Structure 1
Amino acid sequence: MDPQHPAYTYTAAKPPLPETAEQLRARIPGWGVDLDPANRPSFPRERFDPDLNGAHWEFPERQVERFPREHSVEHAFLTPVFGTSTPPKGLSGAVRRYAYRYSEGRNAHWLLLIAADRVSAVEETVKSFATRHPDDPVTETGVRAEVSHHGLRSRVGQGRSDVKHQWLDPVVAGAPWVVGGVVGYRALRGLGRRLAR
């Protein structure tokens, strides 16, 4: 099919409604309440030109897709311009690509994207240990700031609504480090036992 075909998204032509305005108005109470220009607050400042279709540009030249990019199943193809700064990679990239098999109207789509973000955070933390400057859990999770920047005083007696769930903050920030430390310790201990045999 021609990419300029009206059935595609991101084209100037507006697709036809599956139902007429009269059918929609009969089925949905209040539908089209602002169809009459007299009911619009912006009238008479609106300029109506029946020759215009609402788009102010022709279909632009498309950006070159140097590697396969994910896009919503609701759209026929990628937007003409898209981000390339952080291409999907590793396990988190696989989870993101899988998320785009689902419609944006499904919870699975968004929950998988959130899970991919968590996986990506773990991947980056693990990758940092292979560098000369690994992540520092004390400063980067805000533990030091709690002492040096009045953490307790900023919470107590301030009427903050988020105090109820703040006990979870150390768990969310610290649990991955604790789990990673335990797994690393057990792996090293197991390796030491095998080498000692």
Structure 2
Amino acid sequence: MPYIADDHRKQFSPDELRARIPGWGADADPSDRPSVPREKLDLPTGAHWTFPDRQEPSAGRERSIEHGMLPPVFGTSAPLHGVSGAIRRYAYDHYSEGRAAHWLLLMLGDRVDAVGSHVRSLASAHPDNPITETGIFGERRHRPISSRFGQRRADVKHAWMDPIIVAGPWVLAGIAVVSVVKRVARRR
């Protein structure tokens, strides 16, 4: 039967649907459903409320514009902060979750946060080690070449970018540090 645009407004009886669609209503009869002996909807839940007590929202809590309110309970383990937090707040305040701009801004906020973490790491007494954190030494012991070819792995297509993405920020940071040191040395 061909689809007709206005056909969706018609109401069909269950018998008509069973005749038109093979298998329609297979689980409509509770006696035919395998989960019915275990499925009990009248058990006490133990809840003393119909709507749970609301958690007090902290200042600046992000909420999508699609939702009228925050859920009753929400996570607060990583509150928004700094420039990355401002970018994320802008994404939540101005764009729907169905828009690419919302997600692109959230990813930009993540990248800004990652750069900030790298800068804080370089300023600390124990900076990150980009070589060991990539897992390159583990690769050496687990067939790094043969595991990539002939296996139809999706990551092989972008593997050439991995060194640029991983080492690129560190190389740029090193160049920046060397240029700052040279300028300071010239002034003295």
For the aligned pair, the TM-score class normalised by the smaller chain equals 0.7 to 0.9
Residues 102 and 188 of structure 1, relative CA distance in 2, 3 Å threshold: same
Q: Does 1:70 align with 2:55?
A: no
Per the alignment, residue 140 of structure 1 pairs with 133
> Which secondary structure does the structure 1 equivalent of 2:138 belong to?
helix
> Which secondary structure does the structure 1 equivalent of 2:123 belong to?
coil
Per the alignment, residue 44 of structure 1 pairs with 29
Q: Does 1:124 align with 2:124?
A: no
Between 1:92-101 and 1:159-168, the stretch displaced more is: 159-168
Bigger Rg, which one = 2
For 2:119 and 2:161, how far apart are their aligned partners in 1? 23
Per the alignment, residue 10 of structure 1 pairs with none
Which deviations, in whole Å up to 9, do the C-alpha atoms of 1:104-123 show, x marking residues without a partner?
11110000111111111111
For residue 174 of structure 1, the aligned residue among 140, 164, 167 is: 167
For 1:34 and 1:172, how far apart are their aligned partners in 2? 57
For 1:95 and 1:33, how far apart are their aligned partners in 2? 48
For 2:157 and 2:90, how far apart are their aligned partners in 1? 35
Q: Does 1:162 align with 2:147?
A: no
Q: In the alignment, residue 104 of structure 2 is paired with which amino acid?
A: L
Residues 35 and 164 of structure 1, relative CA distance in 2, 3 Å threshold: farther
Check conservation: 1:34, 1:40, Cα contact below 8 A. no
Per the alignment, residue 91 of structure 1 pairs with 83
Between 1:157-166 and 1:109-118, the stretch displaced more is: 157-166
For 1:40 and 1:193, how far apart are their aligned partners in 2? 82
For 1:32 and 1:114, how far apart are their aligned partners in 2? 45
Residues 193 and 32 of structure 1, relative CA distance in 2, 3 Å threshold: farther
Q: CA deviation at 1:102?
A: 0.6
Per the alignment, residue 178 of structure 2 pairs with 185
Residues 28 and 94 of structure 1, relative CA distance in 2, 3 Å threshold: farther
RMSD: 3.0
Q: CA deviation at 1:27?
A: 6.0
Check conservation: 1:146, 1:152, Cα contact below 8 A. no
For 1:144 and 1:133, how far apart are their aligned partners in 2? 20
If the length of structure 1 is used for normalisation, what is the TM-score? 0.70
Residues 190 and 40 of structure 1, relative CA distance in 2, 3 Å threshold: farther
For 1:27 and 1:43, how far apart are their aligned partners in 2? 27
Q: CA deviation at 1:31?
A: 7.1
Listed as ranges, the gaps of 5+ residues in structure 1 are 1-25, 48-55
> Which secondary structure does the structure 2 equivalent of 1:170 belong to?
helix
> Which secondary structure does the structure 2 equivalent of 1:186 belong to?
helix
* Count of aligned pairs: 162
Greater RCO, CA 8 A, separation 6+: 1
More helix by share: 2
Q: Does 1:61 align with 2:18?
A: no
Listed as ranges, the gaps of 5+ residues in structure 2 are 19-23, 37-46
